[in-house]
Amino acid sequence: MNKKVLAFSLFVFVLSMCGYILLGENGPTETMQSLPKGSSYDELLALAGEPSYVTDGTEGPERGFKKPQEQRISGCVKEVWYENTLKLPSKYAFCFSADGKLLHKYHWSSW
């Protein structure tokens, strides 16, 4: 095989993979768009898989740092976080009430 054709093919493959990583959809992104408020934690897991971590709803996107009171979601006792480090630094959060229903969801990005 011609070295130029092989090099070009490899370049196209690498470029395609980079595009998929940076722009492609993933579980939390699709779930953010499709999971309605009132859904259960089990429904979230079925769509997005296991979360990166879970908090009590008082921590912000940076682990160990508490959110100001005005940023806390009323009634949220369980906040489920999905980190997305392959794309731009971003996280997806899903807030659940004491009875296990989805109250709020949002996408956080450092950009």
pTM tops 0.75, yes or no: no
Work out the number of other CB atoms within 10 angstroms of the CB of residue 76.
Answer: 20
Residue 13 reports pLDDT greater than 80: no
**Residues 30-88: pLDDT tens digits?**
888 899 999 999 999 999 999 999 999 999 888 889 999 999 999 999 999 998 766 66
Per-residue exposure over 6-26, b if at least 16 CB sit within 10 Å of its own CB, e if not: eeeeeeeeeeeeeeeeeeeeb
CATH number of 26-109: 3.30.1450.10
Per-residue exposure over 34-65, b if at least 16 CB sit within 10 Å of its own CB, e if not: ebeeebebeebeeebeebeeebebebbbeeee
> Which band of pLDDT confidence, cut at 50, 70 and 90, is reported for residue 23?
very low
